[in-house]
Chain A
Amino acid sequence: MMRSMRITTSLLLLAAASPALAAEPVERRLHPASVEASSFLWNDFNKFQENYHPNYLVDGDPKTAWVEGAKGAGAGEWVRLKLTPLEGATNVRLKVRNGYQKSPGLFRANARAKTVTVKVLPGGATRQVALKDAEGWQDVAVALPAQKVEAIELRVDEVYAGTKYEDLCLSDVQVFVTATTRDNPAFEKAKLEQIQKWKAERLAAAKAFKGEAAKSMPVAAQYQRGDALPDRGDEWDVWGVCENGGQLCQMRASVERARLRASARFHGALDRAVAAAKGDFAAFVPVQLAPADKRKVPEVDGLCAANLWWALEGPYCSEGVLGAPMDGQLSLYRADTLGTLEVKDAPALADVIAAEAPACKRSVATNYAWARGEKDAAGKTIVRELLVVRCGLAESREGEVPVAEPQLLVYGDDGRLAATAGRAYVTLFDWRDAPGRVSGGETLYSWGDTFLPFRAFEPVAAR
């Protein structure tokens, strides 16, 4: 399957905001936080992007590779490695592992690059270089008049044909740039760790979806953001709205804002979320969650679960869309699989939100829950809205801190999860295109008032 790849690199933007002092030119290695490509192969062998994705160019592992996904042998395909912006760059050196170097057999079976054009962005300087048809590392260098470097693009011009497959492969690329901007090794190291974490999550997802278990997974293999909807033009951010407020005030502000911006099909769920928040959850009763299925939903690409860490620094996903159910709990996707037991001696919601309940002082996080239910035709109580507050000790750089992170979940008439809301996000879930799985939706990031659609992608049949 062919598709264009675009992943945001928030860390890069932050690096640009850090103090940068002039220094003598020095060659340093740069680790991209992610890699874009014109295409990559996506089939049943890498349903969860456990290989072939352009990010595997920079994981340092010859057993993985970027495998292009276009028709033909790969001429014209490209990858773009976004880098920490550097000033005064005078040389770019690349170390390349050509082809698929998992084994000598696979190296020969797949296509390798014969000539590539290296383009230095944003200036656009180019140099065509020849690559050897050999395993191992080979060096490519591009000398430059001093200029800014933000990305390196490699475009494949000619290939060595594979003996079995048409697909063009590159196993690894390392980037070294000689420039004057201050070296920031911890930042580069963090980006490599981000790639490694992403890779580990992809492998975990592949394992979790293996076999029969995958059939009951309520999520697809991957989600992708669409373009942000236009700003409304009015200044708004959740922190300003809730000056001296708390997490529940911010949650209420977020759902009210989402109600103004979301597509009409989500208004019903949002009206109930607004009503619950405005009523301070007074109609909710404390419950204990008793899920029949205690599995966790893996971190699939493009969708990330709320977690306790968000309480320390605010809701955040390095990639993807905020707001999957708390801590990846599978049971929270469907009210009909979500068992609840009413609790008599529950701590007050205010104490839990303030992380003052006894369980909030423990290393193992605890979920407190409050629910509002309605009886169905058979007299069975079905959860309509659920407020989950996860609390416990979170590890910060300075030590463990008791924190609490709330999430409101709203269920549709069919019992499927319709919306989640936290203190700076609202996510609305569509199930209409893929019964049994979230097919997409919309999400609000309260800071900056960004509103994004997102949708599921599925790999096609194996080659």
Chain B
Amino acid sequence: MLALLIGLAQMFPGGRGPVGVGDTPAAMLSAAACADCHPDEHREWAGSRHAQAWTNGIFQREYRQKPGAWCVHCHAPLEAQHAQVGTGGPLLAEGVNCATCHVRDGRIHARTQRPDSPHETVTDDAFGGPDWCGGCHEFTFPVLDGRGELVRYTPHPMQATVAQFRAGPHARDPEGCRGCHAASPGQHAYPGAHDPRMLLRALAFDVCRAGDDVVMTVANVGAGHDVPTGDVHRHLLARAWRPTAPEAMFEAFLGRRYAPQADGGKRTIWDSGLPPGTRRTYRVPLAQLGDDGGPLSFELRYVYTGDEFPRAGRDPGEPTWRVVHEQRSAAADLPPCD
């Protein structure tokens, strides 16, 4: 067993460049090389968003329109993947694969080493902890050049999932991010906002009646970070409407807005996302929703893209939204608000 030989900054250059694996045989770079001995881990990874980091339709849609080199550093992080960007290739299609986190200089990096492991393994208790995740899930707005390569980072957070976690109630959880995101049997599924079970676990949605108003409450009851978090386009929509009057629908937006900065990059100027343990309430006059007396519908929807309904030529080929909670009720049947 080897002591930790290289620092985290060298493991993950924070989007400043591709992940270098040093003197590593090419055969160690593909996830296929791991599958025989680690079938459970490989199977979970293969179904994960990590495995789709390069190929998923939402990323590809944005990347094709604006193919920034900086994006590749986290969506296909390995140097050998970068080499396939122009031509495509099986390694590129693996997105964030086993080697992204586990292989450097021909050695395996992990928290522990199995007794029967044939690998030369570097162990580190912090492996897979928040700092590791932060290698791609915590960064500030970049200033990019014409090729989309990083010129410099601004001081303004763009994705701050790890910082949000550290400010939240689960910060002292020894499992860190893994406590929720690596809780599967193989510990490599890393479910997130694209998994409906994770959304249900994170978000509560309640509706009640207060006189002539309906009151919707959205709460972050389960996530250790803000919801939404991560990609800047993600947002939540809390909606109330009568199906017979969609044009009178009430909609609340929970997400972020940005402003460009004079010296480049952007800055968040408005954020209505839900930090851990917080709730937001919306009071809507019933009369505002149309007055035909029909049933009311309520919905909490998670939208992954800026455009909920992509227009012609912009369909990413995967869902752009997911309904987290929904409810239909006559106004008279709604429980009174306490």
Contacts and interface: CB of A to CB of B under 8 A. Distances in A.
Residue with the highest number of chain A CB atoms closer than 10 Å, among B85, B239, B257: B257
Question: Chain B's interface: helix, strand, loop or mixed, by majority?
Answer: loop
A400 interface: yes
A21 B67 CA distance: 34
Interface in A1-50: 10-11, 13-15, 17-19, 21, 23-24, 26-29, 31
Interface stretch (B16-24, B28-36, B203-211, B317-325): B317-325
Given A246-B146, A361-B260, A361-B262, A186 B309 contact: yes
B257 A399 contact: yes
A72 interface: no
Interface string A163-180: 000000000000010000
Interface residues of A, number: 50
Given A21-B323, A26-B295, A399 B259 contact: yes
Given A314-B314, A398-B306, A27 B243 contact: yes
Contacts of B310: 14, 17
A192 B262 CA distance: 38
A399 B259 CA distance: 6
Contacts of A240: 64
A13 B65 CA distance: 22
B195 interface: no
A40 B67 CA distance: 47
A14 B323 contact: no
Interface string B79-90: 000000110000
B307 A393 contact: no
Contacts of A15: 309
A313 B260 contact: no
A397 B247 contact: no
Interface in A158-200: 176, 182-183, 185-190, 192
Interface string A386-402: 00000001001111111
Contact of A398 (B67, B232, B246, B315): B232
Contacts of B40: none
Nearest to A423: B65
Contacts of B245: 29
Given A14-B310, A18-B321, A244-B67, A399 B258 contact: yes
A447 B259 CA distance: 31
Interface stretch (B166-174, B248-256, B273-281): B248-256
B249 A185 contact: yes
B246 A14 contact: no
Contacts of B262: 361
B154 interface: no
Nearest to A240: B64
Interface string A289-329: 00000000000000000000000011010100000000000
B308 interface: yes
Contact of B297 (A185, A350, A393): A185
B86 A243 contact: yes
B233 A185 contact: no
B156 interface: no
A397 B306 contact: yes
A248 to B, nearest CB: 11
B6 interface: no
A96 B295 CA distance: 23
B244 A183 contact: no
Interface string B118-143: 00000000000000000000000000
Nearest to B261: A361
Contacts of B283: none
Contact of B307 (A23, A313, A354): A313
Nearest to B258: A399
Given A361-B262, A400-B259, A186 B233 contact: no
B136 to A, nearest CB: 20
A410 to B, nearest CB: 25
B114 interface: no
A342 B270 CA distance: 42
A239 interface: yes
B241 interface: yes
A186 B243 contact: no
Interface string B286-318: 000000001101000000001111111111000
B104 to A, nearest CB: 28
A28 B255 CA distance: 28
Contacts of A105: none
B188 interface: no
B328 A31 contact: no
Interface in A130-146: none
Given A19-B322, A185-B239, A239-B64, A313 B246 contact: no
B93 to A, nearest CB: 15
Contacts of B147: 244
Nearest to B316: A17
B235 interface: yes
Given A14-B309, A400-B260, A448-B313, A27 B249 contact: no
Given A186-B308, A400-B260, A244 B239 contact: no
Contacts of A24: 328
Contacts of B237: 186
A341 to B, nearest CB: 28
B269 interface: yes
Contacts of B269: 399
A316 B256 contact: no
A357 to B, nearest CB: 12
A401 B67 contact: no
A314 B65 contact: yes
Nearest to B290: A29
A186 B320 CA distance: 14
B246 A31 contact: yes
B146 A183 contact: no
A358 to B, nearest CB: 9
B323 A182 contact: yes
A377 B259 CA distance: 51
A316 B255 CA distance: 26
A190 B306 contact: no
Contact of B313 (A31, A187, A314, A353): A314
Interface of A: 10-11, 13-15, 17-19, 21, 23-24, 26-29, 31, 176, 182-183, 185-190, 192, 239-240, 243-246, 313-314, 316, 318, 350, 353-354, 361, 393, 396-402, 447-448
Given A14-B309, A27-B244, 19 more contacts: A14-B310, A18-B309, A29-B245, A183-B243, A185-B241, A186-B246, A192-B247, A239-B64, A243-B86, A314-B314, A316-B311, A316-B313, A353-B146, A361-B260, A397-B235, A397-B255, A397-B307, A399-B258, A399-B266
7 contacts: A11-B311, A18-B309, A29-B246, A192-B246, A361-B262, A399-B269, A401-B258
Interface of B: 64-65, 67, 85-86, 146-147, 232-233, 235, 237, 239, 241, 243-247, 249, 251, 255-260, 262, 266, 269-270, 294-295, 297, 306-315, 319-323, 326, 328
- What are the nearest 6 A-B pairs in CB distance? A185-B246, A28-B243, A399-B258, A188-B246, A399-B257, A10-B312
